[in-house]
A and B are shown apart, each in its own frame.
Chain A
Amino acid sequence: MAATFELEVATPDRLIVREQVAEAQVPGKDGYLGILPDHAPLLTELGAGALTYTVGGASHTVMVGGGWMEVLPASVRILATVAEKPNEIDLKRAQGALDRAEKRLKESGAMDIPRALAAADRARARLAVAAEFGR
C-alpha cells in the first residue's frame, strides 16, 4: 500500500474533508506548499486558493478562502475560514464579488485595501476552482 496521511479540512460550521490522501497541494499565505506523507511538523497561515489532494490516484479540488494548517507526519489539519467544493461554488456571486473588489481597488481612496484584496483573492480562487471543473 502506498503511504498516505489523513487530511482534515474543517470550517466553523462543518467538516468538509476527512480522507486518507497520498498527496496534497495547499495554498499557503506565501505560495503553494506540496505535502507528502511523513512531512516535518509545520504550522502556517493559508491564503485563498485551490487545495488539491489525491485519493487513490484520483485528484480532488476544494476552494479554500484562507485559514491555518497544522502538518504532522501522519496527519494534516486545515482550519479554513471558508471552504467550498467545486459544485457548491456560486459562479455569479464570485464574479460579482471580484468586480466589486476590483472597482474598490481602482477607486482606492480611504477604502479598506487589505479587505478588498482578500475579497478579490477569494473570488479568484472560487472562479479558478470552478473553471478547472469545467463549470
Chain B
Amino acid sequence: MPSLIDFRRRIRSVKNTQQITKAMKMVSAAKLRRSQEAVVAGRPFAGMLQRMLANVAGAAAGNDSVKEHPLLQQREQKKVLVVLVSADRGLAGAFNSNVNRGAQKFMQELPGTEFEIEAVGKKGRDYFRRRGYTIAGDHQNFSRKPNYGDVAAVAKKVSARYASGEVDAVYLAYNEFKSVMTQQFRMVRVLPVPLPEGEASTDYIYEQPAEELLGSLLPRYVEIELWRSVLESTASEHAARMTAMDAASRNASEVIERVTLQMNRVRQASITREIIEVVSGASALK
C-alpha cells in the first residue's frame, strides 16, 4: 500500500508534466497561427503560376524544344529522389511517423527502384538513416521560420541533379494541412514536371516565344511546389503538436484526479483505523 507521501509526490510530478504540456500547447498555438497565415499568403502566387503554366504549356505544346526541355524528360524510373519534409523535433503526435511511414510504404511498393532521400527536417533523416537508406542531402531549421531563399536552394540542387540525369524522378513527401485536427500525408511528383493537360483557353499575345516562357517558368515551379510543401508541413507540425499537447494535458488532469481520489481513500482508511483502535482501546478498559 503506497503511503500518503508517495501519492503526494506522484501528484506533484504529474502536475509538473502538465505545466510543460500546457506551455507547449500555447506556444504551438501561437506558431500555428503564424504558419497558417504563411500558407494562406503563399496561395495566390502558387495558383497564378499553375494557371500560367497551363496556358503556356498549351500554347507551346507540340513544339520540339519543349519536349527536349531538361525538366520535362520522361525517363524510366530507375533511381528516384524523395524530398522528405518532416519536423526537426518530436512530441507532435503522429506527425513525423505519418510522413516517414507514408514515404517508406511508397518506396516499398516499387521494388527494383533505387531511392535516395533529400531530408528536410531532422526526424525524417534519422528515421531513414537508421533503416539504411541513402541520405543525399540534409536540411534543418526550415520550419522555425521558413525562408524562401533556403527552400529555393534545395529546389535548385534537386532540379540540377534531375537535369543531369543523376536521378530519373523527384517526389515530394509531406503532411498537408487540412485543418487543425487533420493533416494528410501527400506524395507528389515534381520532376519531370507534370504539365497540366488541355488547350490554351485564351489566345494570348506572346512577347517572348511560348517555349522560352515555359523554360523560365519550369524551374520556378519546382521551387514553388517545395516551398508550399514546407509551409504546409510547418503548419501541420504545429497543429499536430498542439493537438497532442492538448490531449496530454487532459490526460494529466485525469491522472491527477484519479490519484487524488486514491489518496483520499487511503487517508480515510487510516483515520477510520485509528478511531477503531481508540474506541476498542477505551471499551477494553471498561
Count, chain A residues at interface, CB 8 A = 22
Question: Are B52 and A42 neighbours in the complex by a CB distance under 8 Å?
Answer: no
Question: Are B55 and A12 neighbours in the complex by a CB distance under 8 Å?
Answer: no
Is B232 on the interface with A (CB-CB < 8 A)?
A: no
Which residues from B are CB-within-8-Å of A72? 202
Q: Which of A11, A15, A43 contacts B206 (CB 8 A)?
A: A43
CB distance from A14 to the nearest CB of B (A): 4
The docked-state distance in angstroms from the alpha carbon of A40 to that of B205 is 7
Q: Give the residue name and chain of the B residue nearest to A33 (CB).
A: B207
Known: A10-B48, A13-B148, A43-B213. A29 touches B38 (CB 8 A): no
Is A41 on the interface with B (CB-CB < 8 A)?
A: yes
Within 8 A of B (CB), among A18-67: 28-30, 40-45
CB distance from A32 to the nearest CB of B (A): 12
CB distance from B222 to the nearest CB of A (A): 12
Residue-wise, chain A 66-87 has the 8 Å CB interface mask toward B (1 for contact) of: 0010101000010101000000
The docked-state distance in angstroms from the alpha carbon of A70 to that of B205 is 10
Main secondary structure of the interface of A (DSSP, over half): strand
Is B164 on the interface with A (CB-CB < 8 A)?
A: no
Which residues from B are CB-within-8-Å of A42? 204-207
Q: Which of B45, B203, B206 contacts A12 (CB 8 A)?
A: B45
CB distance from B55 to the nearest CB of A (A): 7
Which residues from B are CB-within-8-Å of A6? none
Which residues from A are CB-within-8-Å of B45? 10-13, 15, 79
CB distance from A88 to the nearest CB of B (A): 15
Within 8 A of A (CB), among B194-234: 202-208, 210, 212-213, 216-217, 220, 223-224, 227
Count, chain B residues at interface, CB 8 A = 29
CB distance from A35 to the nearest CB of B (A): 12
The docked-state distance in angstroms from the alpha carbon of A77 to that of B204 is 14
Is B282 on the interface with A (CB-CB < 8 A)?
A: no
Question: Are B223 and A12 neighbours in the complex by a CB distance under 8 Å?
Answer: yes
Which residues from A are CB-within-8-Å of B38? 13
Question: Are B148 and A41 neighbours in the complex by a CB distance under 8 Å?
Answer: no
Is B71 on the interface with A (CB-CB < 8 A)?
A: no
Is B90 on the interface with A (CB-CB < 8 A)?
A: no
The docked-state distance in angstroms from the alpha carbon of A77 to that of B227 is 20
Question: Are B44 and A41 neighbours in the complex by a CB distance under 8 Å?
Answer: no
Which residues from B are CB-within-8-Å of A81? 220
Is A102 on the interface with B (CB-CB < 8 A)?
A: no
Which residues from B are CB-within-8-Å of A44? 206-208, 213
Which residues from B are CB-within-8-Å of A29? 207-208
Which residues from A are CB-within-8-Å of B210? 43
Which residues from B are CB-within-8-Å of A15? 41, 44-45
Residue-wise, chain B 40-68 has the 8 Å CB interface mask toward A (1 for contact) of: 01101110110110011000000000000
Q: Give the residue name and chain of the B residue nearest to A79 (CB).
A: B48
Question: Are B52 and A43 neighbours in the complex by a CB distance under 8 Å?
Answer: yes
A-B contact pairs, 18 of them (CB 8 A): A8-B44, A8-B48, A10-B44, A12-B45, A12-B46, A12-B148, A13-B42, A29-B207, A29-B208, A40-B205, A41-B202, A42-B204, A43-B206, A43-B213, A44-B213, A68-B52, A79-B45, A79-B48
Report, nearest first, the 6 A-B pairs whose CB atoms are least far apart: A44-B207, A10-B45, A10-B44, A14-B41, A15-B44, A41-B204
Inter-chain pairs besides A10-B44, A29-B207, A68-B52, 16 sampled, C-beta below 8 Å: A10-B45, A11-B45, A12-B224, A12-B227, A13-B41, A29-B208, A40-B205, A41-B202, A41-B203, A42-B206, A42-B207, A43-B206, A43-B210, A43-B213, A70-B55, A70-B204
